Amino acid sequence: MDNSNKAEHQQAMANRKYIHWQDEGVEKIPPNEAEDIQAVADMINGMQKAQYNMHRHCYTGTHARTQGIVKGMLIVKEDLPKHLKQSVFAHAGEYPVVCRYSSEPGDPGLDDRIPQPRGFAMKVFNVPGEMFDSTKTTQDIEFNSTPALDLADAKTTKEIIDLRINYGGNQPELYKRLEARPDTDLQKFRDSVRNTHLESTRQYSQTAYRFGDYVAKYCLVPVSATQKKLYEETVKPDADPSDILHQWLQNFHGEHDAEYLLRFQLCENLHDQPVEYAGKVWDPEKYPWQTVAALVIPKQDSFNYELKSFWEDHMRLDPWLGLKTLQPLGSPNRLRKVVYPASSKLRRMMNGRQEVNVSSMDQIPGPAPPQMGSGNIEPLKVN
């Protein structure tokens, strides 16, 4: 795209009519949602206790398998148009981050050869602005490798987790019950996701968030040539070892810098882009993704045992721990506001650990990452 076309495109995007986060209809709390949310919290705690009985260690209810943890920098663009200068992205800057790659299910021993959604999460440091918790100075951001969330609202979450608890060990019976549902394709999709390199997988917020004045979803896009090339490789059913994704990730980060673009998709039509129901993908052709920042991760060891233990036993990552201008929206996020603290509380109690209020990268174990450009890829140009 030449400069004139780029300017025209940016102006066209700036002139679109975006939904304000306080507009009528953005959030509609259904009756009995609080009861459904509490039921989910209880079921998640039950799943955690079941895993404890097998491993004698309590893990988070989902994303239990750590695949790697890395340190990097979130770089906010200097030339953002006004409609993208929202929340933490209102001013250009560089923010230290620590990021975790994970497998979504609650079983920490899940075989990497089994296709399932993968997760990515980052804690952003030195963030200015008014927080939901005045004792915090970090912004937590979480992603999933599927653009739509099968646990699309509180009611659906309660129903699906109940099915997984009762029939998760019997896939034919589980599928029989899923196929009786109107959202069967959404529910079965998780078992057929592309099983490829974690550092090469695009990640999505799935749910909607306040984006300063507006409403948006966000995604993280791998952009280096090496990451794009590795995406073509998939895990074979007979692959060895069973933790191959962890091995691939460690090999990549040990040899290469990683580069991602953070993009936001603004809400323009609540019918096409529902906030309360996260099971529908917002059409990227009608509602384009727009780049606001870059994430750069210099080459490093992605599996530091001390850092893994610290994250799992002492850190808490929660999208409600952050800026009010990035408020989580919709039913799945109201559920997280209850379920995440309940999961964390049980985990600390059963493991005999204390949650640490991490406010500085200096509190994060492991060596500081080297400077960008030390690998085989040139540092990312944010444009």
Helix segments in 137-200, DSSP class H: 154-167, 171-178, 184-188
Angle between helices 154-167 and 171-178 (to 10 degrees): 150
Average pLDDT over residues 2-21: 84
Residue 376 binned pLDDT confidence (cut-offs 50, 70, 90):
very low
DSSP run (H or E) holding 219: strand 214-222
User: Band of the pLDDT at 6, cuts 50, 70, 90?
Assistant: confident
What pLDDT score does 375 carry?
41
Within a domain: residue 174?
Answer: yes
Helices (H) and strands (E) in the chain, counts: 9, 9
**Does any domain span residue 120?**
yes
Instruction: Please report whether residue 265 resides in a domain.
Output: yes
Model confidence at 77, in pLDDT bands (50, 70, 90)? confident
In a domain, 276, yes or no: yes
Domain that holds residue 139: 13-363
Two structure tokens written together for 160: 């699906």
How many structural domains are present in the chain? 1
| Assigned domain for 373 exists | no
Please state the pTM of the whole predicted model: 0.94
Arithmetic mean of pLDDT, 58-74? 95
Q: Do residues 247 and 240 touch, judged by C-beta distance below 8 A?
A: no
Residue 112 lies in a domain: yes
143: closest CA among 261, 240, 253? 261
Task: State the Cα–Cα distance between residues 383 and 372, nearest whole angstrom.
Answer: 17
The residues near 16 (Cβ < 8 Å, ≥ 6 apart) are 266, 268
Q: How far is CA 34 from CA 77, 150, 153, 154, 322, in A?
A: 40, 19, 12, 9, 23
Biggest alpha carbon distance in the chain? 62
For the four alpha carbons of 234, 107, 148 and 213, in that order, the dihedral sign comes to negative
pLDDT tens digits for 236-291?
988 888 899 999 999 999 999 999 999 999 999 999 999 999 999 999 999 999 99
* Closest among 75, 10, 125, 12 to 364, alpha carbons compared: 125
pLDDT digit string, tens, across residues 169-224: 899 999 999 999 999 999 999 999 999 999 999 999 999 999 999 999 999 999 99
Give dist(CA 175, CA 180) in Å, integer.
9
Q: How many Å apart are CA 266 and CA 268, to the nearest integer?
A: 6
pLDDT of residue 351: 96
Q: How far apart are CA 111 and CA 88, in angstroms?
A: 37
In a domain, 178, yes or no: yes
Q: What is the pLDDT of residue 7?
A: 81
Residue 4 within any structural domain of the chain: no
**Residue 118 belongs to a domain with what CATH number?**
2.40.180.10
The per-residue pLDDT for range 114-157, each reduced to its tens digit, is: 999 999 999 999 999 999 999 889 999 999 999 999 999 999 99
